[in-house]
Amino acid sequence: MVATTDGASLSQGTVPATYAAIVPLVHLFHSADIRGASGVREIASIEDVETPVGEVRILFGGIAGKGWPVLAILEEAYPIYLSLLAIALPAIFLAIPQIVGRSIVRVSDVADMASQIEPERRGDRLPVAGIPKEVAPLVIAFNGALDRIENEFRKRQRFLIDAAHELRTPIAIVQTRIEGLSEGPERRRLLDDVARLADMAEQLLDFERGHQTVDLDETVDLIDVARMAVADLAPLAIAAGYEMSFQGDAMCVERKGDSSALRRAIGNLIRNAIEHGNGYGTITVSALADGEISVSDEGPGIPADHQELVFEPFYRVVPNSRGPDLD
């Protein structure tokens, strides 16, 4: 029901009996919300509205048991809202994936960088620039964790290197004193024990050097490296009861690598053959033209279930066994 300020009125539909007494007074209200009368479920409102013909007061309601009057307005105005939704929803579904995608692609790039971080490449950190502010604290915390891990790694590495260097001096002193003893089986056993201690100290150094950056641009003759390793350890093998054999089917096989590390690796294999070959047979070192180097003996070999594990640093098939590790 619509009424002008001077009392003229016009109604649409049937005015409920509950509001009949209000109809003549509608032009006197600027606004009203009418509800809650005892035994009445009707809800009504009066609104003051400016129109081209002047100010009018509108009484609307009569939605018995159906909730708030605003629902009636929405019910009548749904064609307008449907048109707006028809325009807005496609724009929302097109725009949001692009906005979110641009944010996520940077996070994906950082995740790829994180997966490529290697222990040997120290100093690598994840970039924070361009990361969504919600993700940036996680990236910063991850970089902080890398800093702390690297600091602890440097401390451990420094300790092991220092310890290995410090061990050399007392080992050398003990070896000198043993060499001054009278010849005999006990002297020989003590010298063997000291030699193993010296080998362990060298292996600690080798292990830590292996975690440092190594220049692999050196040209190495594999035949020569293998031959020198055999020459160094042949006296030890012969003294332990073995025959020593070197086989090379080429005069020179050159590769890029670290000659010192290769020589130590071959030497470790020969020492293991000496220690675990049961003291008989031939230890054969072969260097082939295709670059393959092998060390074989006539001992029992490594059990099948341990063969993969021997590539772990300082691993031993028998925990308290003697002999160098295959590192």
Which residues form the domain of 283? Answer: 214-327
How far is 18 from 43, CA to CA, in rounded Å? 10
pLDDT tens column, 74-128: 666 666 667 777 777 777 777 666 666 666 667 777 788 888 787 767 778 888 8
pLDDT attached to residue 325: 47
- Shared domain check, 306 and 276: yes
Domain end (from 167, 192, 213): 213
Region of 56 on the Ramachandran plot (φ > 0 left; ψ -120 to 50 alpha; else beta): beta
Q: Taking the CA atoms of 84, 66, 28 and 12 in sequence, report the sign of the dihedral they define.
A: positive
Contacts (Cβ under 8 Å, ≥6 apart) of 238: 244
Reading across the β-sheet that carries 54-61, which strands appear in turn? 9-10, 2-4, 54-61, 44-51, 32-34
Q: Which ranges constitute the DSSP H helices of the chain?
A: 69-115, 136-179, 185-210, 222-239, 259-276
Q: CB neighbours of 110 closer than 8 A, spacing ≥ 6?
A: 126, 127, 131, 139
Could you read off the pLDDT of 39-79 as tens digits, one per residue?
A: 666 778 888 888 888 899 988 875 544 445 555 566 666 66
Please state, in angstroms and rounded to a whole number, the distance separating the CA atoms of residues 222 and 255. Answer: 7
How far is the C-alpha of 5 from the C-alpha of 159, rounded, in Å? Answer: 96
Residue linked to tokens 């035994």: 39
| Percent over 90 (pLDDT), the chain | 6
Backbone torsions φ then ψ of 68, nearest 5 degrees: -80, 155
Report how many domains make up the chain.
Answer: 3
Q: 136 with 148, same domain?
A: yes
Which CATH number does the domain housing residue 312 bear? Answer: 3.30.565.10
pLDDT above 70: percentage of residues in the chain: 80
In this predicted structure, the answer to whether residue 316 has a pLDDT above a threshold of 80 is no
Contact 57, 48 (CB under 8 A): yes
282 and 187 belong to one structural domain: no
Q: Indicate if 166 and 258 belong to the same structural domain.
A: no
pLDDT tens-digit profile of 252-275? 888 888 887 788 889 888 988 888
Residue 287 lies in a domain: yes
Tell me 23's DSSP state: G
Alpha carbon separation from 246 to 64, 109, 228, 253 (Å, rounded): 106, 52, 10, 15
| Confidence class for position 129, pLDDT limits 50, 70, 90 | confident
Mean pLDDT within 12-26: 81
Judgement on whether residues 223 and 203 belong to the same structural domain of the protein: no
| Domain endpoint, select from 185, 213, 241 | 213
| DSSP string of 147-161, one letter each residue | HHHHHHHHHHHHHHH
- pLDDT tens, residue by residue, 138-147: 888 888 888 8
50 occurs within a structural domain:
yes
